[in-house]
Structure 1
Amino acid sequence: MRPDNSVWQGNLGDWQNEFIHVNLLVIGYYAWNGYVESGRGMVCVDVQDAAIASKIISLDWIPFRAEFIAKPQVVSQMQAHKQAHKFEEGVIDQLLRLVDRYHPDEDVILLLTAQTQTEIHLLHNLKISPPECDRQVRRRWHEFQPCFR
């Protein structure tokens, strides 16, 4: 789901899919831990503007901040984004229905923000499930430390 006025995909290239691919283990880790601790919800990732301002995205690590937002906080989180990002009418209700229906052990709901633009992704049919992402990150914790600063 994208806001009506979203132009970042065209302006910045197709970096979002690459970003998700490179950071899937960490995203899955946040999704599974959040679900275990707080129930259903979504992972919010805020990519540093400077990291994508050059329009050159590679497999190098891109700085970002991530957190899990539990369902009771989704509405307030989205209200804040709605004011800044002008989502289409009904996006929040649609997102809440999605939060109610997704399969936490198989899927991830991802709110991806960069340069004041926001996209919502449902990641499903993943090659690595969120519980497996959690296991791999915990097993190789030292490799993922830049992601948790």
Structure 2
Amino acid sequence: MHSSHDLWHRNSPYWQDAFVQQNLIFLAYNAHCGYLSQGRGFLVCEITQRIPRTLNWQLEQVKFNQTFIAQDEAACYFQALNLEGEAIPSLIQAIAKQRFTNATYNPTREIIVVIQGNGTVVVHSLQSKIPLSTVYNQVKRRWSEFHLENPTLGN
């Protein structure tokens, strides 16, 4: 029998899915901030703690750092991770293209997020039903709910 907090009890055996679900609004906001300031690219989330096998994702926050990497810096970023040479072109293609179509990825409705943690690197392509600018504007209006230490958002 699995505990309700067991990472493998969920629909997916990957803790990264729970991490994305827990932080989706904040990820969307930061991805759109990066797009507005640097153009196309992807968001990197570096988990700063070891993810235990059991974690109550509804009550416990996972600490992480975020960085937006512009698309033209992608190759250097992935090379710095010391990934195998064959993996780099496929990761760059994942950032430049949508997974299931030949269309160029749409940064106004899609988030590419690279999650580093527990010794793994996973790339997620997240599709949004609403424009990311809507999420961005909602978070800006309600900033104190998302960033309690500094309730004013500077531009």
SS in 1 for 2:109: coil
CA contact (8 A) 2:40 2:70 kept: yes
Is residue 127 of structure 2 the alignment partner of residue 131 of structure 1? no
Gaps of 5+ in 1: 1-8
Question: In structure 1, what residue type is equivalent to 2:139?
Answer: V
Shift of 1:132: 2.0
Shift of 1:146: 6.4
Distance (whole Å) between structure 2 residues aligned to residue 104 and residue 143 of structure 1: 25
Question: Which residue in 1 is equivalent to 2:24?
Answer: 24
Shift of 1:26: 0.9
SS in 2 for 1:105: coil
1:110 to 108, 113, 125: 113
Question: In structure 1, what residue type is equivalent to 2:18?
Answer: E
Distance (whole Å) between structure 2 residues aligned to residue 136 and residue 80 of structure 1: 35
The CA deviation string for residues 59-96 of structure 1, in whole angstroms up to 9 with x for no partner, is 23211111110012111111112x1xx44x53322232
More helix by share: 1
How many residue pairs match? The answer is 132
Identity of matched residues, %: 27
CA contact (8 A) 1:42 1:69 kept: yes
Gaps of 5+ in 2: 1-6, 97-103, 151-155
1:75-94 pair list within 5 angstroms: 75-81=75-81, 83=82, 86-87=83-84, 89-94=85-90
Question: Which residue in 2 is equivalent to 1:58?
Answer: 57
Distance (whole Å) between structure 1 residues aligned to residue 65 and residue 47 of structure 2: 7
Distance (whole Å) between structure 2 residues aligned to residue 97 and residue 26 of structure 1: 25
Q: Normalising by structure 1, what TM-score?
A: 0.76
The CA deviation string for residues 42-67 of structure 1, in whole angstroms up to 9 with x for no partner, is 000011223x1353141232111111
Question: Which residue in 2 is equivalent to 1:71?
Answer: 71
C-alpha spacing 1:98/1:54, structure 2 compared with 1 (3 Å): closer
Distance (whole Å) between structure 2 residues aligned to residue 47 and residue 147 of structure 1: 20
SS in 1 for 2:17: helix
CA contact (8 A) 2:22 2:57 kept: no
Question: Which residue in 2 is equivalent to 1:39?
Answer: 39
1:119 to 119, 122, 130: 122
SS in 2 for 1:46: strand
Question: Which residue in 1 is equivalent to 2:101?
Answer: none
The structure with the larger Rg is 2
Structure 1 runs of 4+ aligned residues shifted over 4 Å read none
